[in-house]
Chains A and B, each alone.
Chain A
């Protein structure tokens, strides 16, 4: 899920003003850099004491707060656990938390602050693709590491970003394979009108063409839109076998209410969603979602001792009614992966950490994950789940073994023209 669920005009104006300010500021910055300051030098990491600082960069306010606060919660859980077991290279981790405020210029500013002032060893966070794209040049220029925990549309690589959420071939393509395997070959695409759904649907259409599936229609609603009666009518009239849903945030509430009102059910026309996790199911209402499908790498119900421990620890720290979800799991895992890389490199230096990253493994709540050093993505198990009346998601299919990340879809001939 790659952008905010709402984007009102006023926020846009405010964002625009902030952007102008950032552009002006960075122009000033460029001047000082030219006169010989720290441009293109590796960022300094403060390892003088018995502590090492890491940055947590999440939206703690604004429209994305609902999702990103849960990610920070699980990052803090991982930090606590690691500190309790002795820290990293004998140093305790000291988290420095910054609020990106659901506003991407703010993300860029806070990233620079974490790197330069706090001299963090690595930063964990970001959710929307917009915020990731905004901080990418900051991390690259300062040669500092970002661990990004959310599934995204692929077609990106950065030498200073580790992607611990799914890329396309670990989520969207398995979902399509699953639909195909079920004989659901006529699909309808519904998404929010911005980069993630549009890119994802381009990939889906290319897949469909190569795999004998038909895309009967494609509809986008503006972010935050709540009027879905016509789209529901179109979907119904199309007599599709299934709907592929890349809607973001609250629009899902209106969409699924209308879907049910139109008399469409998980039986008559299943919907597979790629951005509804346990937290969102809880707020949309399980009664509208029961029986529908989702594609992720992790569910709260995923079996295994590592997950039992994770869920138990999370609920003990934040409350028994708080569900765990895929982005939270990927964030939790990312801290442990960083720890393992640092220990293998015997250094906090980003270049050494990167060099040590290939083949690092961790018994994550989702199962064993392995870092692919070349792409800096991780091998993850793909999972299709069915939403239950209790709001939890139960797995109905998995890829059996972790899938090698392929962000640019090089392994798929049909994707040749996409990137």
Chain B
């Protein structure tokens, strides 16, 4: 019993990591329709930001808390800069954005290698996040890792914040208007260029937050972005492009599926089975779990 509960929690925590790395992408790819291959490198930028801050702030707990907003700003600024320099010229040519941002991603990786060195680096996690909490005691206790609980909380907070922004703020209404009908939004007096850039800032900023979370799980390196970007695209495509709801549901479903299969088989077999499942699902529903046709954006 504890094994099932523990494994379900593991699945949810894998889902939370997936959700965090896919969340920003659901804004830039899902809503803006830009295939940004450099999204993974914005995640990397967030992780390196944590690393740099930890060098100047000795308390691991404080540096982690400071890193969250700073990484959001650093990665967000990088995203906005990329949008202003390159992507805004290519909104009507999605395949070109793919190539251009892929080039940018390679450049950012090399930059990281030059600045921080080729070997991966690590951060210290605060003591509170290296242990676990006992949920059910006894001879066969059920424990949850505190770092995973923190990441779960972070993912939930990020989803709520993004969802509220899109639903309730004037900026959110403008983003939704531009997504639904760019031309009509423009003639209604919305500066689409500004909306685009702000949306990119938000999406890339969320990648930075994901990068902070990933420092709690594993090492920080120049290629860490490429390792997670495929999973992020999978989550968005299966969830339904432009659908925050789909992204959230699919992230957790894939997380639980992965952990259950991993437990009963091996890591590699589980990965294959999940991919086969995704291919089968997309045969059945090529548009993903949810579609834009429902007109409910959030």
Contacts and interface: CB of A to CB of B under 8 A. Distances in A.
A66 interface: yes
B263 A230 contact: yes
Contacts of B10: 229-230, 233
B241 to A, nearest CB: 24
B118 A226 contact: no
B125 interface: yes
Contacts of A257: 125, 130, 147, 216-218
Contacts of A309: none
B255 to A, nearest CB: 10
Interface string B5-43: 011001001100100000000000000000000000000
Nearest to A255: B218
A127 B119 CA distance: 16
Nearest to A63: B118
A351 B118 CA distance: 40
Interface string B112-136: 0000001111101100001110000
A220 B266 contact: yes
B96 interface: no
A181 interface: no
A66 B118 contact: yes
A239 to B, nearest CB: 9
Given A6-B221, A261-B130, A285-B124, A219 B267 contact: yes
A350 interface: no
Given A227-B217, A230-B259, A233-B10, A263 B266 contact: no
Contacts of A230: 7, 10, 258-259, 262-263, 267
Contact of B217 (A231, A254, A287): A254
Interface in B144-183: 145-148
Contacts of B227: 8, 224, 226
A65 interface: yes
A253 B219 contact: yes
B128 to A, nearest CB: 12
Interface of A: 5-6, 8-10, 61-63, 65-66, 193, 219-222, 224-227, 229-231, 233-234, 237, 250, 253-254, 257-258, 260-263, 283-285, 287-288
Interface of B: 3, 6-7, 10, 13-14, 17, 118-122, 124-125, 130-132, 141, 143, 145-148, 214, 216-219, 221, 223-224, 226-227, 258-259, 262-263, 266-268, 271
Question: Would you list the 5 A-B pairs with minimal beta carbon distance, nearest first?
Answer: A226-B218, A261-B145, A254-B218, A66-B119, A230-B262
Given A230-B258, A254-B219, 4 more contacts: A220-B267, A225-B267, A227-B217, A257-B125
